[in-house]
Amino acid sequence: MEGIRDIKRRLRAVQGTAKITRAMQLVAASKMRRAQLAATAGRRHALRLEELADKILRMELPTNDLPPLLSRRDVKCRCIVFVATDKGLCGSLNQNTFKLIREKFPQDAKYVAIGKKGGQLLAAAKLQLIGEFSVNDGVPYHMARAVANFLRDAYLCKEIDAVDVVHPLFINTLRQNPVAQRLLPLDGLGENIRAKRDMLPDIGRPLPEDGREITVEPSLARLVETLLESFLQKEMHHILLEAKAAEQSARMVAMKAATDNAEIFAKELLLSYNKARQAAITAEILEIRSADSTP
């Protein structure tokens, strides 16, 4: 009977776990839908903004009056922005993104973590962490602006010479690819645009070429300086939207897998419980019959 009680106790625990993971799956599915819509709806706008910025930056700017965010210098100190999650239970999403960092970037770089799990992974690897941010599920614009301004100030003060962002890119519900893109200096937009079009072929047609002469008032340098400030913030905001969609998708898939495994395990335990109970009843019947047959 002790075995039956143990099986029944384990069965109740597994069934309770299945209920919890099922509830978490439903919550993640609800958040996933909103996050996916926010990420996909802003993709074309973000790409158009990149193409427009790239087109303006390819115009003849005075070399002696380049905005600081465009000036490329020797990379003595690189900054890596690791976009992770605040909570776990999202499968291997954070580990896959962190694996790309370890494979592609040097360990002596400076790191900025977005998400508590990212800060924990960087601290465990004993990497130099100079900033840590947290972003809500709705990805408010002011949070993205705070991250962008922090990176801009560090770049302008020459504490860092280049900024790369490593984040999960939402492809579909079952697929989230870790990607790395250059954020600062902002003279490599063409490479980022080509990489995005390769990964997202349905994002739309490229911006058509326009050979007309453009007159800018008050000056092209002033326009570029204003554009770069706005572009940096909007680009960071869209990166966080993509990462949040990837996070909620990965969490929903992970919770569904956990629920399915718990239900399968519960069925196996229920079968073992019934077999043990049947064996116990059979043993009792045999004892009664043997007692009755005793003279």
Q: In this predicted structure, what is the pLDDT of residue 82? A: 93
The residues pairing with 82 across neighbouring beta strands, listed in sequence order, are: 113, 166
In terms of DSSP H, where are the helices of the chain? Answer: 2-41, 43-57, 93-104, 116-124, 141-156, 189-199, 220-292
Q: What distance in Å separates the CA atoms of residue 276 and residue 248, rounded to the nearest whole number?
A: 41
pLDDT level of residue 59 (50, 70, 90 thresholds):
low
Residue type, 237: H
Q: What distance in Å separates the CA atoms of residue 240 and residue 252, rounded to the nearest whole number?
A: 18
Q: Can you give the residue ranges of every domain in the chain?
A: 26-252
Of 138, 149, 118, 123, the residue nearest 234 (C-alpha): 149
pTM: 0.81
| Contact status, residue 262 vs residue 19, Cβ threshold 8 Å | no
Does 1 have pLDDT greater than 50?
Answer: no
List of residues 6+ apart from 67 with CB closer than 8 A: 221, 224, 225, 228
Of 173 and 294, more confident: 173
How confident is the model over 201-238, as pLDDT tens digits?
Answer: 566 565 556 666 667 677 666 777 777 778 888 888 88
Q: Across residues 147-159, what is the average pLDDT?
A: 89
Of 50 and 124, more confident: 124
Q: Across residues 91-113, what is the average pLDDT?
A: 89
Identify the H or E element spanning 87. none
How confident is the model over 128-147, as pLDDT tens digits?
Answer: 888 899 888 888 889 989 99
DSSP-derived secondary structure for 207-266: PPP-------SS-HHHHHHHHHHHHHHHHHHHHHHHHHHHHHHHHHHHHHHHHHHHHHHH
CATH of 26-252 given 3.40.1380.10, 1.20.210.10, 3.40.50.2300, 3.20.20.210: 3.40.1380.10
Q: Across residues 263-290, what is the average pLDDT?
A: 83
Q: What distance in Å separates the CA atoms of residue 156 and residue 292, rounded to the nearest whole number?
A: 96
pLDDT level of residue 80 (50, 70, 90 thresholds):
very high
Percent of the chain at pLDDT > 70 equals: 82
Of 72 and 105, more confident: 105
Would you state the structure tokens that stand for residue 146, as one six-digit string? 């705070």
